[in-house]
Structures are given as structure tokens and as C-alpha cells.
């Protein structure tokens, strides 16, 4: 199968299916059998129970300061992620329809080289994010094991209300290791919830790139047709290409609005999660008198994964705005000005181009909670704000 949007979305839906979140593909090629529903229900029940115990640990647990702060941080992170996962399940039917539209619109004019770039961008981004996440989780496990061996403290990664901190029995240790292994496995559906909007942001951006190439292609065909046929016949072919382009542009605008409707809250929560948790982690880094190697590595990789996920959301949302802004120029230079304007069909081409350019000049901007732009500028602002808070507290410590 050649590279294409359909192949990309289908492959990602396969990953989401094996992660236990269900079939998000518009065809029933990933069946939700009875055994699968049991597997999915048990998985999400275990996740929910663990997150509930994390919240109880933060609210009512009697833990040392380090564990108490970890309980607060992970309770906040996992609550937000759980909300994102349930939002995905809530919009499941809408996402299936969206996947169908994304896979089929402009499928016939997709170019292999462009689709390969799209696949490479998705694979590199998500792979790097997964690596940073699991490096951080591994560092948490190594640091907890080191403290258990060297300091004799209980093995804690995610801090749960049960077993109690003072409980050093074998059963308690087994439960703590079980929760750590659950945490490692729980990241699979969590990552699927985090990356689902990113996949669609990247694909819609490349749809706009493909549409711009469509106008460049009909301009080249028009130049060739002028040499081989009458100007009027060449103009009619150009007109048909412009009409197709305008229809595809309207479809892309609809899909962009659907992406914002379905994934808007998820992306907005990601902005809040990444910025707030990064601040908490950097404050912990600034206020700690000293950090050993694994602890520092754990903190830096965690902050790095959060910021990289934020960047994937904001950069790709900003890329949609940028690629959509280039469409008006591609429309304008499609070759309409070379047609003879004293004939009716050519006059219609001019009107089509004016309407198309007017529509393309409207900025396509996704917003968080309908207020904050999802763009490159927002990412820089969040990064600056986070670093400013870190610098202030670090200077106070000095």
C-alpha cells in the first residue's frame, strides 16, 4: 500500500485498538468482540481505581513531603488524562466520521512524496514523545528502587492511598510494584488520547499543502493546454480545476472546524496540563537543595516530555494556520489572468478566483477554550512564562 492519509490514520487506529480504547476506524476491521470488551473494561477499571487512590492519597494520605508533592502532581496529571480519554470515547462516533472524511477527501490527488513527509513527521514526533515518556517512567522506577535499597523507604512511583506508607509487608510491596506496572501499561491508552489530536492536526495541514499543489498543477496543465488547444478550451479546463479546488477548500474548512469541535477541549487541557505541571516540576527542581543523577534525569525527562507534547499540539495547530494562509496566493497564480476576459466562460473564472481567494484569506486559527490561539507564539509564551517562574524561585533559593 502506498503512503497516504488513509494508511496513516488506519495504522494509528490499530494502535488505539490494541491499547484498549476501542475501534476508531470507520470500518469494522478492528472488531470489539466480547473478549475485547472484557479486556477494555478491566483495563479502564484498574486505571480508574489507581487514579482514585492517587486522589485519596493527595487529599487524605499521611506521607512525607516528597511523596505528598508527587501525589498532588500525579493526581492532577492523571485526572486530566482520564478526562481526555473519556472525551475521546464520548466523541467516538464523531471521530469515526472524521477519520472517514480525512481518509477520503482529496485521496485521488495525494502525491507520494508529500505523503511520505507526512508519515515521517508523524512517526518521528510520536516516537520521540513515547521515548521521553518511558525514559521518565523508567527513571522513576530506578530512583524508587535506589531509595528502597539505600534508604530503606517503601517503593513508591505513583503514590496511592493504599497500601499505607508505614505498611512494609510483602503484600504492600507487591501492590506498589503492581501499580507501577499498571502505570507503565496505562501510558499506552494515555498516549493514544494525547496523540489522536496531533495526528489529525498534521494530516489537515498536509491536506492544505496538497491543495496548494493542486492549484500549481492546474496552472502547469493550463500552460500546456494553451499550446495544444484553443485558449477558450484551455480556460474551461482551468475553470473545472478551480471549481474542484474551491470545493476541496470548503471541505477542509469543515474538517478543520470538526477537529476543533472534537479535539478542542483535549488540546486546551493539554496546554493547561503541560504548563502547570512543568511549573511544579521546575519549582521542585529549583527548591531542592540537591538532586542525584536519577532524580535529575527523572525531572528533566518528565518536563521534556510535557513540553514536547505541548509543542506537538501548538506547532501543528500553528502549521495549519500557516499552510492555510498560503492557499490564497496559490489560487491567485493559477493562470486565470492569462485567459481572454471578453468571453463569458473566462469571466466566470475570474469570479471563481475572487470568491476562492476571499475565502482563503480568512485566517484559520484554532483556539484553546475559545480564547487563546493554538500557535507557535503561544508555545513561546508558555515556555517563557514557565522559565520566568523557575528563574524567580531559583534566584530566591540562591
Identify the pLDDT of residue 280: 76
Tell whether omega for the bond before 369 is within 30 degrees of 0, i.e. cis: no
Determine, yes or no, domain membership for 127. yes
Determine, yes or no, domain membership for 54. no
Determine, yes or no, domain membership for 176. no
- The gap from C-alpha 164 to its chain's centroid, in whole angstroms, comes to 37
Determine, yes or no, domain membership for 50. no
Which parts of the chain fold into alpha helices (H)? Answer: 5-18, 34-60, 65-90, 92-104, 112-150, 170-228, 231-287, 293-325, 327-332, 344-360, 376-397
Tally of structural domains, the chain: 1
d(CA 146, CA 153): 9
- C-beta atoms surrounding 190 within 10 Å: 21
Residue 261, CA atoms < 13 Å, CB-side half-sphere: 11
Low-confidence ranges of the chain (pLDDT < 70): 1-2, 285-291, 340-347, 394, 396-398
Which parts of 91-111 fold into alpha helices (H)? Answer: 92-104
Q: Nearest 5°: CA angle at 353, between 348 and 354?
A: 95
d(CA 317, CA 375): 6
Find all residues with CB under 8 Å of 108, minimum gap 6, and list them: none
Identify the pLDDT of residue 51: 94
- For residue 368, list its beta bridge partners: 372
Contact 264, 366 (CB under 8 A): yes
Per-residue pLDDT of 40-93, as tens digits, reads: 999 999 999 999 999 999 999 988 887 888 888 888 889 998 999 999 999 999
Record the pTM.
0.93
Contact 376, 310 (CB under 8 A): no
Determine, yes or no, domain membership for 222. yes
Identify the pLDDT of residue 40: 93
d(CA 122, CA 134): 18
Determine, yes or no, domain membership for 103. yes
Determine, yes or no, domain membership for 158. no
Structural domain of residue 119, as residue ranges?
5-22+93-152+187-397
Identify the pLDDT of residue 202: 97
Determine, yes or no, domain membership for 42. no
Identify the pLDDT of residue 1: 42
Per-residue pLDDT of 153-200, as tens digits, reads: 889 898 999 998 889 899 999 999 999 999 999 999 889 889 999 999
- The gap from C-alpha 136 to its chain's centroid, in whole angstroms, comes to 19
Amino acid at each position: 500500500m502506498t503512503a497516504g492519509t488513509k494508511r496513516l490514520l488506519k495504522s494509528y487506529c490499530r494502535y488505539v485498538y490494541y491499547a484498549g480504547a476501542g475501534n476508531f476506524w470507520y470500518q469494522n476491521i478492528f472488531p470489539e468482540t466480547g473478549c475485547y470488551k472484557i479486556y477494555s473494561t478491566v483495563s479502564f477499571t484498574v486505571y480508574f481505581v489507581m487514579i482514585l487512590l492517587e486522589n485519596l492519597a493527595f487529599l487524605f494520605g499521611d506521607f512525607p513531603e516528597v511523596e505528598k508533592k508527587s501525589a498532588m502532581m500525579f493526581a492532577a496529571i492523571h485526572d486530566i488524562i482520564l478526562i481526555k480519554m473519556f472525551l475521546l470515547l464520548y466523541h467516538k462516533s464523531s471521530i469515526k466520521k472524521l477519520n472517514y472524511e480525512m481518509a477520503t477527501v482529496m485521496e485521488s490527488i495525494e502525491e507520494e512524496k508529500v505523503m511520505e513527509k507526512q508519515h515521517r513527521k508523524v512517526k518521528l514526533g510520536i516516537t520521540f514523545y513515547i521515548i521521553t515518556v518511558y525514559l521518565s517512567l523508567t527513571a522513576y522506577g530506578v530512583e524508587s528502587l535506589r531509595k528502597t535499597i539505600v534508604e530503606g523507604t517503601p517503593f513508591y512511583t505513583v503514590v496511592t492511598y493504599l497500601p499505607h506508607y508505614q505498611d512494609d509487608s510483602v503484600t504492600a510491596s507487591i501492590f506498589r510494584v503492581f501499580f507501577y506496572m499498571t502505570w507503565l501499561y496505562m501510558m499506552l491508552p494515555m498516549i493514544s488520547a494525547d496523540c489522536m489530536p496531533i495526528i489529525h492536526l498534521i494530516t489537515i495541514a498536509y491536506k492544505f499543502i496538497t491543495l496548494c499543489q493542486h492549484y500549481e498543477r492546474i496552472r502547469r496543465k493550463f500552460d500546456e493546454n494553451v499550446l495544444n488547444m484553443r485558449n477558450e478550451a484551455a480556460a474551461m479546463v482551468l475553470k473545472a480545476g478551480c471549481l474542484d479546488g474551491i470545493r476541496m477548500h470548503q471541505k477542509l474548512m469543515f474538517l478543520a472546524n470538526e477537529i476543533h469541535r472534537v479535539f478542542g477541549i483535549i488540546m486546551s487541557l493539554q496546554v493547561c496540563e503541560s504548563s502547570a505541571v512543568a511549573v511544579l516540576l521546575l519549582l521542585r527542581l529549583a527548591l531542592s537543595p540537591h538532586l542525584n543523577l536519577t532524580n535529575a534525569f527523572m525531572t528533566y525527562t518528565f518536563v521534556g516530555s510535557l513540553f514536547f507534547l505541548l509543542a506537538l499540539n501548538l506547532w501543528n495547530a500553528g502549521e495549519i494556520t500557516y499552510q492555510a494562509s498560503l492557499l490564497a496566493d496559490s489560487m491567485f497564480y493559477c493562470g486565470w489572468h492569462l485567459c481572454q476576459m471578453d468571453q463569458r466562460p473566462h469571466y466566470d473564472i475570474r469570479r471563481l478566483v475572487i470568491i476562492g481567494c476571499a475565502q482563503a484569506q480568512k485566517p484559520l486559527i484554532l483556539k484553546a477554550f475559545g480564547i487563546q490561539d493554538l500557535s507557535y507564539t503561544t508555545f513561546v509564551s508558555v515556555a517563557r512564562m514557565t522559565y520566568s517562574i523557575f528563574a524567580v524561585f531559583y534566584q530566591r533559593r540562591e
